[in-house]
Amino acid sequence: MGEQSSVKFPQEVIDEYAALGVDLPALFSAGHLGARMGVTIREASAERVVGTMPVEGNTQPYGLLHGGASAVLAETLGSIGSMLHGGSSRIAVGVDLNCTHHRGVRTGEVTGVATPVHQGRSTATYEIVITDEQDRRVCTARLTCLLREVDGSGRSKMVDEIQEAKERTAE
């Protein structure tokens, strides 16, 4: 997924995951789809997640940024915020995504910023605003994630699966 080492996490979040034996900055990823689409996470906390994505390679037949690409960026950013809000004892599972597309983009890079609308015990909702290089709004999205409790063994299994997937991707 691009420049993993450039992701800025709050130190307390890094410490929380380090206590579980997880190097969060090294592990963090938008997954295979995000990597294929060129999604790069620039900043990540429960209060604000920022990511970018190139338009080139993510267009529909008319040469415009594909609405589904905007949805992938939005869900990635909102999920990251939800995961960080939930902490190391919960996993975030997207249950609702709504996207409104305001304008087309043909070139350059888009930037998404996810901020919380609701941070509850069992759900988290984020608004994601995607803009073009002229800071014009391209898409407004809202993502709600269910926060599921995970016991220690479940967390360990999930971390192992993520690390294995990263190793397969690196091959």
Is 12 known to be catalytic?
Answer: no
Sign of CA dihedral 16, 20, 25, 30: negative
- Give the Cβ contact number of residue 96 at 10 Å: 11
- Give the Cβ contact number of residue 157 at 10 Å: 12
Residues 126, 130, 136, 140: what is their CA dihedral angle, to the nearest 10 degrees? -50
Task: From the candidates 75, 127, 167, 171, give the one annotated as an active-site residue.
Answer: 75
Which residues are designated catalytic? Answer: 75
